[in-house]
Each structure stands twice: as structure tokens, then as C-alpha cells.
């Protein structure tokens, strides 16, 4: 958790700015707030890093991806291609907006592949919700070529890939809109928070209104503002935004250290029998928040997880059995267990979610073991971790010998 590793005086200073004014609401109260606008500052810091034309801070990464989909025009009955490996919020957002998720294959980038998207296309496909998983990025050259060929709307969930880029363009800015997460477990945290980004002014204005009950935020009297669209409350508080400001300013330094530490571990593990790595399409743009190992097959990965648990090697995720990042455990999605009826239940799901045929995804996630990279690791700690991983891999691979 790089962001929370470096929490300190900078965050306290930004919080105290807000506490001294007592204005926790992000809008209005100009006379009382002493020119303290932390949500606006948070948005600016994100724009400084990514070069986004527009950024809007919201209450969570989940709110950010819902805003991105809604502002891009995704709604009832629209088929949206989604990955089966993502944080569950991506799928929830599509469903709650009335969209119809269509699951497609990922590849060794851990993201949707152009081939997987193409195979999942139907005459009703309107959009692709691309998720940049585990700190990296998808193969954007191939995906953008397909998006343009088929005239699809692209929305990017870069919740785990803030500050990652592909050939100079930051994740979240290839399509109509994008989303970043700043929850407690990301490269930078606001405690809870998210950022919507776009380079399109109209899309920004739609998101800005959608996330605050439809307000247009024109004028100085909130009670007299117009409401161009129906929206909901996804506002971020000034307190959360204040933490986000301080944390985001640290991201360039965190990213540099992450890259050093990830490369150090990869160099140590590259020659270990049975260990490979997930594909990073642009190493120069990697946020390096995860060290993603690919074992030869699912059984090898399961044995390695067992060996690491026995040896006390910690700090990893085996996503294949993870309850909220991989489709195998999403029984509530497969069976459409809802608190109230959703459009997908009325219109009908475009796939049989209980019997999806995604062999490439099953193979990749079955082999994948991810370690969160810490920016505060010492070389001694990394040496110890690499030694532990190598020893466990050796035991796991011995069965194949």
C-alpha cells in the first residue's frame, strides 16, 4: 500500500487547512472557507500528473467508473464488453446503469485483449469497459484499432493503474472517459475517493452534474442552480480530498521507487525455474504497484501458494480464488441476486453467466500470483522476499520434475 506507507505531516497539514475553516462541503461557502478548495486542488494534482483536460473528484473509485460510464452515454439495454478479472465495481456499475455486461477474454497483460473483445462483439455491442489491472496497462494499439474500426465507445477503469501510461498517454485518457481509485489500498489514497477524467468538455459537464444530483454548478446560490440532468450524490468531502491532495503529490516519487523495487525483484527471480511475469506493454509507463508472477500452470500456482503459506511468505494475492476480483467466485453476478429488479433481469442477459466459456482467462488467472510492491522496502527486505519466493517455487516445481 504505497500511499499509506508515506502518510505524515503533509496529509495532516492539508487536513488542518479544512478543519480550521470548518467547511467540509466541496461547493459554495466562499466567504467562510478562506480560499480553501481541496477538491479542486485534488483534481488539479491529478491533471498535473496525467495531463487530463478535465478531472472531477468523487466519493470513490466505484463512483468514478459509474460516472464515466454514465457520462459516456451508457445506459439501459446497452451491451458493454467487460473483463472477468476486475474489481467487482466495474460490473456493478454497468448493471446499475441498466447496461448488459458481456464478458470477454483477457491475456497475459491481465487486461482485455483485442482478440477477446473481437470474439465477444455482437450487433448490439455499444461500448467496451476496459480495466487496466494490477498497475499495468492493456495493449492499447491493438485495442484502439478495434475500437475505431467498430465505432465503439471506450471507457477505462484505471482504478488500479493511476499514473500508468502507454506510449506517453496515461491510462484513462484513451477513450471517452476514465476512472481512478484513491481508496486505502492504492498508489495514493484519499481514505475513500476517486477521480473521473476525460478530455471531452461535454462528457465532463455530464459527469460533474451526474455526481451531484444534476446540479450545473453555475452561480453562487446552490439553491437556485439549474439541473440539466438527473443525477445522484457521489460528492467527495473536503476532508477526503485534502488527504488526496497530499498523497497525489507524492505519486511521482512513489512510482519511481516502485519501479526500482519491482525491477530489483524481477532481476532476482528471472532465473528461478517456473517463474515468469505478466506482460507489461510499456515498461516505461508501468506504475509498478504489483509484481505479477505467472507460473507454468494452475496446479503449479496452487502448490506455490501452499508452500508460501507454510513458509510464512506474505503480501501476495492468488486471484483465482479471490472473492471479489475474479468471476469464478461471483455467484451473485452469475445468479443475478439483486435487492430490486435490474434492467438485465427484464431485458435478458446477453450471455449465460453461469456457463461462460473463457479458457484463456481461466488459464492466465490460474497461473497468476501478485505481490503488492512497497516503496519503503529495503534491499535486505527484498532479498529476503526473493529468497522466500524462490525457495517456494523450487518446492512447487519439484513435482513437475
Which residues sit opposite 200 in a β-bridge?
Answer: none
**Strand order through the sheet with 276-277:** 276-277, 290-294, 368-372, 316-317
Q: Angle CA(67)–CA(73)–CA(74) in degrees, nearest 5?
A: 80
Helix (H/G/I), strand (E/B), else coil: 64 = helix
**Active site includes 262?**
no
The backbone torsions φ and ψ at residue 399, rounded to the nearest 5 degrees and listed phi first, read -65, -30
Using DSSP bridges, classify how beta strands 316-317 and 368-372 pair: parallel, antiparallel or unpaired: antiparallel
In this structure, the strands spanning 54-58 and 194-198 are antiparallel
* Long-range contact set of residues 110-113: C-beta below 8 Å, sequence gap at least 24: 110/85, 110/134, 110/136, 110/278, 110/292, 110/364, 110/368, 111/83, 111/136, 111/137, 111/138, 111/139, 112/81, 112/83, 112/138, 112/143, 113/138, 113/139, 113/142, 113/143, 113/360
Three-state secondary structure of 300-322: HHHHHHHHHHHHCCCCEECHHHC
The separation between CA 262 and the C-alpha centre of its own chain, rounded to angstroms, equals 19
- Active site residue: 38, 126, 176, 186, which one? 186
Element (H, E) at 104: none
Rounded to the nearest 10°, the torsion over CA 23, 27, 30, 33 is 20
Phi–psi pair at 320, nearest 5 degrees: -60, -30
Paired with 169 in beta bridges are 166
Question: Which residues participate in catalysis according to the annotation?
Answer: 186
Amino acid at each position: 500500500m504505497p500511499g499509506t506507507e508515506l502518510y505524515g505531516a503533509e496529509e495532516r497539514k492539508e487536513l488542518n487547512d479544512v478543519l480550521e475553516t470548518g467547511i467540509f462541503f466541496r461547493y459554495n461557502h466562499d466567504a467562510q472557507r478562506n480560499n480553501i478548495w481541496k477538491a479542486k486542488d485534488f483534481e488539479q494534482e491529478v491533471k498535473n500528473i496525467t495531463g487530463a483536460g478535465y478531472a472531477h473528484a468523487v466519493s470513490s473509485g466505484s463512483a468514478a467508473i459509474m460516472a464515466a460510464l454514465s457520462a459516456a452515454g451508457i445506459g439501459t439495454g446497452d451491451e458493454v464488453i467487460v473483463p472477468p478479472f476486475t474489481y467487482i465495481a466495474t460490473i456493478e456499475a454497468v448493471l446499475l446503469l441498466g447496461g448488459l455486461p458481456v464478458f470477454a477474454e483477457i491475456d497475459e497483460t491481465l487486461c482485455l485483449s483485442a482478440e477477446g473483445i473481437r470474439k465477444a462483439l455482437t450487433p448490439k455491442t455499444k461500448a467496451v469497459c476496459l480495466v487496466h489491472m494490477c498497475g499495468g496497462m492493456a495493449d492499447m494499439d491493438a485495442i484502439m484499432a478495434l475500437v475505431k474500426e467498430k465505432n465503439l465507445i471506450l471507457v477505462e477503469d484505471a482504478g488500479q493503474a493511476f499514473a500508468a501510461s502507454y506510449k506517453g498517454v496515461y491510462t484513462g485518457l484513451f477513450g471517452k472517459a476514465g476512472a481512478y481509485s484513491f481508496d486505502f489500498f492504492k498508489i495514493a489514497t484519499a481514505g475513500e475517493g476517486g477521480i473521473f477524467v476525460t478530455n471531452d468538455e461535454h462528457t465532463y459537464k455530464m459527469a460533474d452534474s451526474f455526481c451531484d444530483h444534476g446540479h450545473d454548478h453555475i452561480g453562487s446560490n446552490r439553491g437556485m442552480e439549474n439541473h440539466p440532468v438527473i443525477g445522484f450524490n457521489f460528492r467527495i468531502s473536503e476532508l477526503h480530498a485534502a488527504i488526496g491532495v497530499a498523497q497525489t503529490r507524492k505519486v511521482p516519487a512513489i512510482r519511481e521507487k516502485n519501479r526500482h523495487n519491482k525491477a530489483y525483484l524481477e532481476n532476482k527471480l528471472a532465473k528461478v525455474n517456473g517463474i515468469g511475469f505478466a506482460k507489461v506493454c510499456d515498461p516505461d509507463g508501468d506504475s509498478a504497484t504489483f509484481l505479477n508472477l505467472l507460473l507454468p500452470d494452475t496446479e503449479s500456482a496452487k502448490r506455490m501458494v501452499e508452500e508460501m503459506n507454510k513458509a510464512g511468505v506474505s503480501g501476495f494475492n492468488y486471484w483465482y480464488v479471490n472473492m471479489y476480483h475474479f468471476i469464478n467466485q461471483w455467484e451473485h453476478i452469475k445468479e443475478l441476486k439483486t435487492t430490486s429488479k435490474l434492467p438485465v433481469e427484464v431485458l435478458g442477459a446477453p450471455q449465460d453467466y453461469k456457463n461462460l466459456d473463457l479458457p484463456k482467462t481461466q488459464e492466465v488467472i490460474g497461473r497468476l500470483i501478485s505481490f503488492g510492491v512497497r516503496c519503503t522496502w529495503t534491499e535486505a527486505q527484498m532479498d529476503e522476499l526473493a529468497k522466500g519466493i524462490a525457495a517456494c517455487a523450487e518446492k512447487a516445481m519439484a513435482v513437475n520434475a
